[in-house]
Structure 1
Amino acid sequence: MQKVPLDKIPPQNLDAEKSILGAILIDKDAIGKVVDFLNPEDFYSPAHRIIFSTAINLFEKHEPIDLLSMSNRLEETGRLSEIGGASYLTSLASSVPTSSHITTYGKIVQRKKMLRDLIEAAHHISGLGHNEEEDIEHLLDEAEQKVFAVSQRSITHAFSHLGEGLTEAMERITNQDMGILRGYPTKHKYLDEILGGLQRSDLIILAARPSVGKTSFAIDLALRAAEQGISVGLFSMEMSMDQVVDRFIANRAGVSMWRLRTGKLSHDQDDFLRITTACDELKSLPIYVDDASSPNILQMRAMARRLQANQGLGLLVVDYLQLMASKRNYDSPVQQVTEISRGLKGLAKELNIPIVAISQLSRAVEQREGHKPRLSDLRDSGSIEQDADVVMFIHREDKINYEKAKDQNKLNYAQVIVAKHRNGPTGEIDFRIDPDSLRFLEIDKSHQQEEVMTF
């Protein structure tokens, strides 16, 4: 392998960078050809980064991009002198006869940035190799994430002809006519009637106040999907692997979570036998858990893509959205959550799977008469409501007004409220929650009886 001198200039192509900026200055439509894949950070020259960032700012505000507007904006922000003054902008514009090759130049600049990122990742990985105190599995995972983060830049997409989707559409319509759900069945009758199952490429937000049962319901959905042979990935940022495993065991075995956690098992109720049986059954289910704290969307995408390639990922559960890290520092949590929700929606489309993301609700719901959640209660909502295809709330009166719920015989009862459904109806489904195993049992509306659970 060829050795690279440490003082060698990193990969870059200043001529390509100048050609891109010159094309943008002489053609108002040029930036639209590269803005979807090129970032200011891709430019090697600091001055070029500033110019391209300013061009994007003008583009986002639908303002003209030319020598005058660029000079004015750079002067307003106090950065005109940093890029060499107005004369440098003029030299960029005059050095390019046409903007027709801007996409080609953009790909060159992007590739050079990827090579620089690869070098940076290699240096970082080299440093990891000298960390003898850290667990080797953690080091390998961090090294893999570095390389995967670089690889994301090489993914490209293009339009597809409508005809390519018509055959699949006819198959879906035929199945629906025969009563076959289009999505993955939740095995909750009334929830499936509203949603038609969990749909591919849908971002499904499951929101509630703390200790209402968000994680328990998400685990219930994951377990029911896995029982149908659907591979499930669970990012657990709030609970450790041990806690997640206990939730699955309690749900499957129908054993008290408290007895399971404390080891005070009941011999009269055959707890140990039920737990052993549940563990044997759970081992065969395609459920994969990651309990790393606060991954960002790039890390999550890389891991999910790898899981899909290796195990055929069909459903992803994120617990919970507000604990995810963002790729940059924002002034407000609203901006951070906006980046994350848009990233999750993009990931659902890319992998063509449903993603169930748990979200917190603000305290406003507790101060309102009736206490039922609304879309406006989504905490630090950002664009959650806009990005989500489905928004479901869990409402429990006994968690807000215990005495009232007790008087109405509504202890351990919950409503799952489908408040938003982009492609279908909304509605409310009644459940009873088993206080021991935390199972959600759908109530049969026709007979007001609990759903018969089959495991």
Structure 2
Amino acid sequence: MESTVTAFASAPDDEGASGYRVPPHNIEAEQALLGAILVNNESYDRVASFLEPRHFFDALHGRIYEASAKLITAGHLASPVTLKNFFERDEALAEIGGPQYLARLAGAATTIINAEEYARAIYTLAIRRELIQVSIDMHTRAYDAPVDDTPAAQILDAEQALYQLAEQGKYEGGFRNFYESLKGAVDMAAAAYERDGGLSGISSGLRDLDQKLGGLQPSDLIILAGRPSMGKTALATNIAFNAAKAYKAEHLADGTVSVKDGAIVGFFSLEMSAEQLATRLLAEQSGVPSERIRRGKIDEDEFHRLVDASRELQSIPLYIDDTGGLTIATLAARARRLKRQRGLGMLDIDYLQLLSGGGKYGDNRVQEVTQITTGLKALAKELNVPILALSQLSRQVEARDDKRPQLSDLRESGSIEQDADVVMFVFREEYYVQRKEPREGTPEHLAWQEEMGKVHGLAEVIIGKQRHGPTGTVKMQFQADVTRFGDHIQDDHMPEERY
């Protein structure tokens, strides 16, 4: 049967002939599926979760499918007889025999067993046609783009269109038998049992933090907040490096990759340059203070430590994007691209308030941040990776005697607190005590020295919210000169400090 729809514009054939190729389609499969639905309406239930009227090449077939769907979902029978009233004046149907065509479809019906296979063939061909249309749109836009339509914007839109198309090309979804969900939970527990440290998520490389969180969980949005100079970026880079360093994967026979430990990490550094971030990591791993690295004031031993650390850093799967002023849409597109090209197991963003929503919000920053946090949570679920996003705290923390942060201190806190699966705060009391140093030689200075001895090199990570586990405080060590966090050392193991 000849199609009743005119194909959209398509490219000339490979030989350069004046004719045009017909987009991929299978009219016989469409007829067989419609016939199966008209004979046994249960066929519709097998394909309704992924097949839509727009997926049919023949527009008439799409209308028949849509009319059948309306009747079936309303609890009525869809058959050649009940559909007759819908198509009595349909010109396309009249050209091929009128309502009798519906009866011919039912007469040539395939069995209900084959219905899903025919539907998948129709769906696959529809995705191929959409892919052709995306390429045509790219071709036309590139030729006729106005001056203000930059190539970068065209590439971004093309990437988004292709990724959306890739996400559509999946049959998964809908309800699952509880046994399947239970099996997934048991498999996750088994993987945690076999993994070092017994974690179900990605290890942060910090023992006490991992015990509280169970690792960084896939699809979670994790907010790490703190006032300036508390060490947010340092902790984020420590976690990113530890995850990337621990990365172990196995290439399976079917071409897929099974990650055994660690993660490929993408780091969006919106505040610091990639070189500054690399210097921090180099200082952390070599033990040479970053200030001395920048000024070149290092001895021969330190130089060799830098060389050794740089070799180790070169081999880890850590990718840095230091583009400033990104929109949430651009960030998402680049994260998807990294996952396609390299793989992706974890995403870090430093920091949330430097992102923009991309819309026109005027002075309504709260609404814009809501779009950003909602977009980040959706991206975490879409890519099935944990996203660690840093966030600034409001100045009201400084006005309190106890400067330990809490959830209400988050800037534009409503959406951040609501969308996040985990909210953590970095707090270093040493920072505040150090700023209160009295004049030397006074009794107050002796008391200050004693207080500094209690807080020097200590940090707290306060877990203010966690969907999967408990809240509470994790104590850590912090080496400010090399911006490195480590597991807490008991007091009787601490070295003596002088001030």
Whether TM exceeds 0.5 here: the answer is yes
- Is 1:235 aligned with 2:268? yes
Kindly provide the amino acid, as one letter, of the partner of residue 327 in structure 1. G
Counterparts of 1:410-421 in structure 2, within 5 Å, are: 410-421=455-466
Kindly provide the amino acid, as one letter, of the partner of residue 416 in structure 1. V
Which of 310, 325, 330 does residue 294 from structure 1 map onto?
325
Kindly provide the amino acid, as one letter, of the partner of residue 146 in structure 1. D
Displacement of 1:167 in angstroms is 1.4
- 1:338 matched to which residue of 2? 370
- 2:295 matched to which residue of 1? 262
Displacement of 1:264 in angstroms is 1.9
Q: Any idea what SS the aligned residue of 1:234 has? A: strand
Structure 1 residues 384, 118: closer, same or farther in 2, change over 3 A?
farther
Which of 203, 214, 223 does residue 205 from structure 1 map onto?
223
Identity %: 40
Q: Any idea what SS the aligned residue of 2:413 has? A: coil
CA contact (8 A) 1:398 1:404 kept: no
CA contact (8 A) 1:204 1:391 kept: yes
CA separation in 2, counterparts of 1:222 and 1:256? 19
- 2:15 matched to which residue of 1? none
- What's the CA shift string for 1:174-224, capped at 9, x where partnerless? 455676210111121111110011111111100011122111110000000
Q: Any idea what SS the aligned residue of 1:158 has? A: coil
Counterparts of 1:1-400 in structure 2, within 5 Å, are: 1=11, 125=142, 142-154=153-165, 155-156=167-168, 158-161=173-176, 162-176=178-192, 180-229=198-247, 230-267=263-300, 270-331=301-362, 332-400=364-432
CA contact (8 A) 1:337 1:382 kept: no
Structure 1 residues 174, 150: closer, same or farther in 2, change over 3 A?
closer
CA separation in 2, counterparts of 1:167 and 1:152? 30
CA contact (8 A) 1:318 1:357 kept: yes
- 2:472 matched to which residue of 1? 427
Displacement of 1:447 in angstroms is 5.5
Structure 1 residues 124, 376: closer, same or farther in 2, change over 3 A?
farther
Q: Any idea what SS the aligned residue of 1:358 has? A: strand
CA separation in 2, counterparts of 1:232 and 1:337? 24
CA separation in 2, counterparts of 1:276 and 1:129? 50
- What's the CA shift string for 1:27-51, capped at 9, x where partnerless? xxxxxx9xxxxxxxxxxxxxxxxxx
Q: Any idea what SS the aligned residue of 1:251 has? A: helix
CA separation in 2, counterparts of 1:237 and 1:126? 33
CA separation in 2, counterparts of 1:294 and 1:414? 30
CA RMSD of aligned residues (A): 3.5
Structure 1 residues 117, 440: closer, same or farther in 2, change over 3 A?
same
Structure 1 residues 149, 421: closer, same or farther in 2, change over 3 A?
same
Structure 1 residues 303, 394: closer, same or farther in 2, change over 3 A?
same
Kindly provide the amino acid, as one letter, of the partner of residue 438 in structure 1. T
Displacement of 1:144 in angstroms is 2.7
CA contact (8 A) 1:402 1:411 kept: no
CA contact (8 A) 1:337 1:381 kept: no
Unaligned runs of 5+ in 1: 3-32, 34-111, 451-455
Q: Any idea what SS the aligned residue of 2:265 has? A: strand
Displacement of 1:125 in angstroms is 4.5
CA contact (8 A) 2:134 2:162 kept: no
Displacement of 1:294 in angstroms is 2.0
CA separation in 2, counterparts of 1:377 and 1:285? 36
CA separation in 2, counterparts of 1:121 and 1:419? 47
CA separation in 1, counterparts of 2:356 and 2:277? 21
- What's the CA shift string for 1:110-155, capped at 9, x where partnerless? xx99999988765665588999xx9xxxx5x654312113335443
Counterparts of 1:433-444 in structure 2, within 5 Å, are: 433-444=478-489
Q: How many residues align?
A: 340
Q: Any idea what SS the aligned residue of 1:313 has? A: coil
CA separation in 2, counterparts of 1:181 and 1:167? 18
Kindly provide the amino acid, as one letter, of the partner of residue 172 in structure 1. M
Kindly provide the amino acid, as one letter, of the partner of residue 381 in structure 1. S
Larger Rg: 2
Structure 1 residues 124, 251: closer, same or farther in 2, change over 3 A?
farther
Structure 1 residues 445, 264: closer, same or farther in 2, change over 3 A?
closer
- What's the CA shift string for 1:203-248, capped at 9, x where partnerless? 1100011122111110000000011112000011101111111111
Displacement of 1:449 in angstroms is 4.9
- 1:91 matched to which residue of 2? none
Displacement of 1:351 in angstroms is 0.9
Q: Any idea what SS the aligned residue of 2:480 has? A: coil
CA contact (8 A) 2:428 2:458 kept: yes
TM-score by structure 1 length? 0.67
Structure 1 residues 364, 117: closer, same or farther in 2, change over 3 A?
farther
Displacement of 1:368 in angstroms is 1.1
CA separation in 2, counterparts of 1:388 and 1:371? 22
